Structure 1
Amino acid sequence: MAASHLLDEREDDRPNGGYHVMVTMDDRTRPSMATASGDQADDKPDSSKPARLVRGFRKALRKNQDYVRITIPKSSSSHLPSEWWKTGIAFIWAGFNLVLTTVMITVVHERVPDKSISPPLPDKFFDYVPRVEWAFSVTEVNGMILVALWFIQWLFLKHRAIVGRRFFFLQGMLYLYRMVTMYVTTLPVPSMHMTCAPKLYSDSHGKIKRVLQLVSGGGLSITGSHLMCGDFLYSGHTVMLTLTFLFIQEYSPRSRLWRCYHALCWLLSAVGVVFILMAHEHYSVDVVVAYFITSRLFYWYHTMANNQALRDSPHNYLSRTWWNHVFNFLEKNVKTTVPCTFSWPLSLPSACFKNPCKSYSIVQSARDE
């Protein structure tokens, strides 16, 4: 007796996203069945028990069309559609808030009091740790290393579209909050060593040039693009150092080798944050508030994203955040936790390897009679 298994791989033939496995009877078995049934019919009357069994068996075969359908459910990765267009919207959101923040810095710069009139506020960290001139350069170098590491890691993630829009959304939110805090409260310079660019007052053309210079230089002091004051509360450098480390840790394996990588990234982030204070470029409250807002926002978002039951619960107080509707839009089709899997960033589309006609995989198995 032999059997032939037919696996239909077409997308449109799968109910609920599964596969069909068809098990058919070999033609060689059917004549013997027919002969057996004929012999039974000739030897015994129709009312005999063996004849009724044969007819019942034959009727069952015709009724079930000689095959059994088995549905194999889709894997969990099929519940994670890429939806790159949503990632593009999140990227625009982050870029818009970044540019808007630089515009706000030029506005706040005009309101910063002169340090000869309003000296720096007292800060406990500054009382015990003298200023180190080169410390802020170390902070910015550490930040660039972390951003580069995160970008490379993100490129090799299988679900990079989902992770990317989460990163861009949170980055845009953090810069939006920063824009608000620096506008409502303008602090004096934290140290007398700071030299602020001259105020332009009503010179709109000069302010636009400063915005473009700040954006082109990435807002870094080592590029010579950041010469304005007033963007103290809260620290943008602390935001990026913390956010990149949290994403690096969240979307990488927990094996021993990767734990060493996590420790290295944590060290880069922690040293960068401490050296901000050692350079006396921000008040201690700027760094504390930046870390708190960045980490809490990251944890809130991922708590909601990784718990489907929590999203649907009427007692979920996290859903009362003002950005919950945006969250539901971005995470609507993400029904499970995003697995930490990697793939090549550039690959040929699977359609190149598929026959445009209906494709099957046929597996033959035979047994000697």
Structure 2
Amino acid sequence: MGPKYYDLFGKSVTPQTSQSICKLLASIIYLFVAHATMSVTVIFVNDRLPDREKHPPLPDLVLDNLPYKPWAAHAAEICLATEVLLWAVVASINKKSLQIVHRTFLVAGTMYWLRCVCVLVTSLPVPDVHKKCYPFPDADVWDKLHRAFQFYTRFGLQLTGARTCGDYIFSGHTTVLTLLNLFINEYAPRSRCFIRGITWCLNICGMAFILLCRGHYTLDVVIAFYITYQVFTTYHCLLVKERTSTFPWKYADMVAEWFEPSTDTLVSFEKC
């Protein structure tokens, strides 16, 4: 038995558990900063929205042939909320729950940083002609920060009252749907194959609902799915590769080594 530490409540905590908690806190801070930056970026992009009189929606082969369904926006967020619950269940029943959570937060934070860059550099016309947008190009910094805080606390969801335009490339809802789906598929017990079917249905249906409500262009949804899959796959490939990178990537390897020591392996489950 290794040494034990004791918290304020007198419960024993092993060094491994203590380190896992530190990693979790670090990943939470990383996600918090990324999400906060994303919120500020979305408000900034909303306030420099292209003039809707001069810039109508771009031609989109899928959207031009789909019926408009305003209720689909809430349906997509219900799919997202369901996936969050499934992810929480899968993470909580796993022996490496803290590890799964910090991996999820790290990948999610990275996706937020990537989305910040993409929505900032390119502003597209609003794809939904029915959507009411309220840009404030002359607003001062404090007003922007106040609206960014409101957007942040509402998690960017229409169900909670968040309303913005202009943050299209790439779809944030698709990103979260796909990310949760991939993590659930990776870490759910192999004996619970039906969970994978449910999460894939939620992922695909959520993406379809986003298009039905004209929340994004088709390109936004496709790119979001592809980038999320690539970042998720790359992160898990880094877990098992030999970390011998040279400058400047060696510093990234140092961070990766702290979060994911080379001696650790991916969580394994029995096959179906």
- 1:205 alignment counterpart: 142
- 1:326 alignment counterpart: 255
- 1:298 alignment counterpart: 232
* Match 2:203 to one of 254, 258, 269: 269
Cα distance in 2 for residues equivalent to 1:182 and 1:158: 38
- 2:218 alignment counterpart: 284
Cα distance in 2 for residues equivalent to 1:176 and 1:113: 23
Stretches of structure 2 lacking an aligned partner (at least 5 in a row) = 4-14
- 1:42 alignment counterpart: none
* Match 2:265 to one of 336, 342, 349: 336
- 2:168 alignment counterpart: 232
The equivalences for 1:1-369 within 5 A come to 11=2, 83-225=20-162, 227-255=163-191, 258-305=192-239, 307=240, 310-312=241-243, 323-332=252-261, 334-340=263-269
Bigger CA radius of gyration: 1
Q: How many residues of Structure 1 are paired with residues of Structure 2 in the alignment? A: 258
Cα distance in 1 for residues equivalent to 2:164 and 2:97: 36
Cα distance in 2 for residues equivalent to 1:201 and 1:323: 40
TM-score by length of 1: 0.65
SS at match of 2:158: coil
Q: CA 1:143/1:325 → structure 2, altered by over 3 Å: closer, same or farther? A: same
Q: Deviations over 1:164-210 (max 9, x none)?
A: 11111100000000000000111111121121124152322322221
The runs of at least 4 aligned residues of structure 1 exceeding 3 Å deviation read: 78-82, 319-325
* Contact preservation (8 Å) 1:125, 1:284: yes
* Contact preservation (8 Å) 1:217, 1:224: yes
Q: CA 1:107/1:312 → structure 2, altered by over 3 Å: closer, same or farther? A: closer
Q: Deviations over 1:120-162 (max 9, x none)?
A: 1111101211211211111001001101211122122211121
Stretches of structure 1 lacking an aligned partner (at least 5 in a row) = 1-9, 13-77, 342-369
* Contact preservation (8 Å) 2:80, 2:176: yes
Q: CA 1:189/1:336 → structure 2, altered by over 3 Å: closer, same or farther? A: same
State the shift of 1:79 in Å: 9.1
* Contact preservation (8 Å) 1:82, 1:162: no
Amino acid in the other structure paired with 2:168: F
SS at match of 2:160: coil
Cα distance in 2 for residues equivalent to 1:324 and 1:231: 32
State the shift of 1:228 in Å: 1.8
* Contact preservation (8 Å) 2:49, 2:166: yes
Percent identity of the aligned residues?
32
Identify, as 1 or 2, the structure richer in helix.
2
Q: Deviations over 1:20-41 (max 9, x none)?
A: xxxxxxxxxxxxxxxxxxxxxx
Q: CA 1:320/1:205 → structure 2, altered by over 3 Å: closer, same or farther? A: closer
TM-score by length of 2: 0.87
SS at match of 1:311: coil
State the shift of 1:320 in Å: 5.5
